[in-house]
Structure 1
Amino acid sequence: MFEPRLALASLSGESDAQWARAGVPYAGGAFLGGLSLDEPTREAAETMVADRDRDEFLPAAPLEFMREQLDALVDVPIRPGFNVRAVGPGAIRPAARICAERGAILEINAHCRQEEMCAAGAGETLLGHPERLAAQVDAAADEGATVSAKVRAEVPDVDLPALAARLEAAGLDAIHVDAMDSEAVIAEVVDATDAFVIANNGVRDERTTREYLAYGADAVSVGRPSDDPAVLERVSGTVREWFA
């Protein structure tokens, strides 16, 4: 999937090609975005910006923005991905084609828990509607993209290992798990699927990195401190040593 097995996790409205380039000495992958692709998710993002002063990528032409950002990384040794938000599979297909053409990972966002995005039917809401999430995975895989889904643990009535298995059957290649405060869920997901498992949440140092890797994670990702070289150096060193 990528080497070294450290990814930079997308931060809403902040994770662009320049951000990914800065992580090249440490990471093997970088998920840009998140990017709202269709009218419902774009309207939700606009409301989030207006009402709560959040950072969001809201280009007039989101697909062209994807192309520009991914093309800006063709000369650097990092595998990019793009975290995208959509209500249905229709908007996923053209984004998946862009990623497939560039060897990038298309990451479906089933993770965002902002009220506006969930009300639109995207983000975390998809975890409670596995048939809709699986349809997005299937659409992306059908376009030839390497497909990831960003999910979170501790969502009521969501069986994450069972969901991972269902998504793998739909064509999922990787699952990016925000473990919240349930780190051991990583082992359950690993046991349920052959997909590449990326563990996220609280990855800061050797101890946290080793904990996730001991649970069987194939890689870890760093979110908020993804622009902190000291954190990235600690985590990258631990990952390289673990898989050496």
Structure 2
Amino acid sequence: MMDAYDRFELLINDRVVKTPVAIASMAGVVDAAYVLERAAHIGAAFIGGYSIDGPTLEASRQMAEGGRKEFLYDDPLEALGREIDALKQSDVVAGVNLRGSAPAAYATVAEAFEDRVVYEIDAHCRQPAMLAAGCGEFLLEHPARLVEIIRALKSEDVTVSVKVRAGVAADDADLARTVWKAGADILHVDLMDFGHNKLRQIRNASPLTLIANNSINTFDRAMDAFSHGADLVSLARNSDPWTLAGLDAAITRYADEGGWYNAPKQLCRGGDIRALAFCCMPVKPCPLLPALERLGLSKNEYLRVKQEAVKGTPLENGKSTCFGSLAWCCKISSPCMFRNMTLEQRGLSAREYMRCKHRLAEKILHRLFDEETADESS
């Protein structure tokens, strides 16, 4: 039986994520007990949100008095410690969604619990009391403060997620790049009503692990998110055991059959930049050419990157294909007798072909984003 890493090849906080289905935080609701009841069919969970200093605890009390559910306690570290300890019995990758008024508050929590959990910065809450305390959406309108918090957490050598609401920052792609450059590892995006176009925009801006959130409670919606850049999908209000079990089963079955559970749509059909793995040589007018121009990649560089990336792999050859190599062949869902004939001749299954394309996409993205980082540091 295929193991979880072989199926999804997904790691968070140096732990295998057994399924790309997560639970998002809901203040006053999602705690360790909530997660443990659903642990069989989720790969990650973010408990909270938890207020972690005086100003945000006071904001939580005000919100509770107004009728909202909140986690209220006298000692944040003691309360978080109990929850984190309770989650040790599970194979779910645990994260804590935190609301603090200053970078030092986050660093204090990370110093206490080190790498036991993922630390998620709540840049999502839009309640006036939290905004006044300097957290939630306040951070999207003051990205310099958000950067300070990310750096404070990373100074403790921990994994950092940032939970945001799409459409609040001046430019979501710029925001993604900013949090990536600041050192964040994960971007957890409430897509609101923007859908996959926003997701693709964010995916094209950074190599962060990307979690898509908001009404993704069916297999079709999950696949739409995956095919436009998401690595995981998360549920909040609809995170009941039945919905989670159905999603987990359907996504697992798709991964076992297809080989690449979150393969992008082809570039000419609206896919994100991972779809360069499916593009042919740049010999005719098509969406590839403007995509390369936006990326600052010349035709010759594109050719060289793909040719180097497939050396020594099953994609290197393919004399019967249009361009003499499987490197330039399209997604397995697109009919092509020449590609299929080559796969049969080489004894390569459709599933194995897609796994090779996944490796190719990873190498292309590393080339694009790692080189950008190197250019900026030189």
TM category, shorter: over 0.9
In the TM superposition, 1:8-27 aligns within 5 A as 8-27=23-42
In the TM superposition, 1:177-192 aligns within 5 A as 177-183=189-195, 184-192=197-205
- Equivalent position of 2:220 in the other structure: 207
Which amino acid counterpart does residue 193 of structure 2 have in structure 1? D
TM-score norm. by structure 1 comes to 0.95
- Equivalent position of 1:95 in the other structure: 109
C-alpha distance in 2 between matches for 1:4 and 1:99 = 25
Question: Is 1:109 equivalent to 2:108 in the alignment?
Answer: no
TM-score norm. by structure 2 comes to 0.62
In the TM superposition, 1:60-99 aligns within 5 A as 60-99=74-113
Q: Which of 218, 223, 232 is the matching residue for 2:244?
A: 232
Larger radius of gyration: 2
C-alpha distance in 1 between matches for 2:29 and 2:183 = 29
Question: Is 1:57 equivalent to 2:38 in the alignment?
Answer: no
Question: Is 1:167 equivalent to 2:179 in the alignment?
Answer: yes
What secondary structure sits across from 2:68 in the alignment?
coil
C-alpha distance in 1 between matches for 2:251 and 2:152 = 32
More strand by share: 1
- Equivalent position of 1:123 in the other structure: 136
Which amino acid counterpart does residue 46 of structure 1 have in structure 2? R
Q: 1:241 offset after TM fit, Å?
A: 3.5
Q: Which moved more, 1:106-115 or 1:158-167?
A: 158-167
- Equivalent position of 2:208 in the other structure: 195
Question: Is 1:48 equivalent to 2:66 in the alignment?
Answer: no
What secondary structure sits across from 2:253 in the alignment?
helix
C-alpha distance in 2 between matches for 1:101 and 1:213 = 28
In the TM superposition, 1:21-36 aligns within 5 A as 21-36=36-51
C-alpha distance in 1 between matches for 2:67 and 2:85 = 29
User: Would you say the 8 A contact 2:44–2:94 is kept in 1?
Assistant: yes
User: Would you say the 8 A contact 2:23–2:46 is kept in 1?
Assistant: yes
User: Would you say the 8 A contact 1:97–1:144 is kept in 2?
Assistant: no
User: Would you say the 8 A contact 1:44–1:120 is kept in 2?
Assistant: yes
User: Would you say the 8 A contact 1:99–1:106 is kept in 2?
Assistant: no
What secondary structure sits across from 1:74 in the alignment?
helix
C-alpha distance in 1 between matches for 2:125 and 2:254 = 30
What secondary structure sits across from 2:28 in the alignment?
coil
- Identity percentage over the alignment? 38
Kindly tell me: are residues 194 and 99 of structure 1, through their superposed partners in 2, closer, same or farther at Cα, counting changes over 3 Å?
farther
Deviations 1:144-196 (A, max 9, x none): 110000001122x5211111111111110000000000012111111111110
User: Would you say the 8 A contact 1:100–1:146 is kept in 2?
Assistant: no
Q: Cα RMSD (Å) of the superposition?
A: 1.2
Deviations 1:31-61 (A, max 9, x none): 00000111111111111111x2111111111
Deviations 1:90-143 (A, max 9, x none): 1000212344242x1000000001111112221011001111001111111110
User: Would you say the 8 A contact 1:190–1:197 is kept in 2?
Assistant: yes
Which amino acid counterpart does residue 106 of structure 1 have in structure 2? Y
User: Would you say the 8 A contact 2:115–2:159 is kept in 1?
Assistant: no
Instruction: Could you tell me which runs of 5 or more consecutive residues in structure 2 were left unpaired when the two chains were aligned.
Output: 1-11, 257-378
Which amino acid counterpart does residue 201 of structure 1 have in structure 2? N
- Equivalent position of 1:133 in the other structure: 146
What secondary structure sits across from 2:225 in the alignment?
helix
C-alpha distance in 2 between matches for 1:206 and 1:145 = 32
For CA contacts below 8 A with separation 6 or more, give which structure has more relative contact order: 1
Which amino acid counterpart does residue 99 of structure 2 have in structure 1? R
Instruction: Could you tell me which runs of 5 or more consecutive residues in structure 1 were left unpaired when the two chains were aligned.
Output: none
Kindly tell me: are residues 208 and 122 of structure 1, through their superposed partners in 2, closer, same or farther at Cα, counting changes over 3 Å?
same
Which amino acid counterpart does residue 93 of structure 1 have in structure 2? A
C-alpha distance in 1 between matches for 2:69 and 2:64 = 6
C-alpha distance in 1 between matches for 2:153 and 2:251 = 29
C-alpha distance in 1 between matches for 2:49 and 2:109 = 12
C-alpha distance in 1 between matches for 2:251 and 2:76 = 34
Q: Which moved more, 1:60-69 or 1:174-183?
A: 60-69
C-alpha distance in 1 between matches for 2:138 and 2:70 = 19
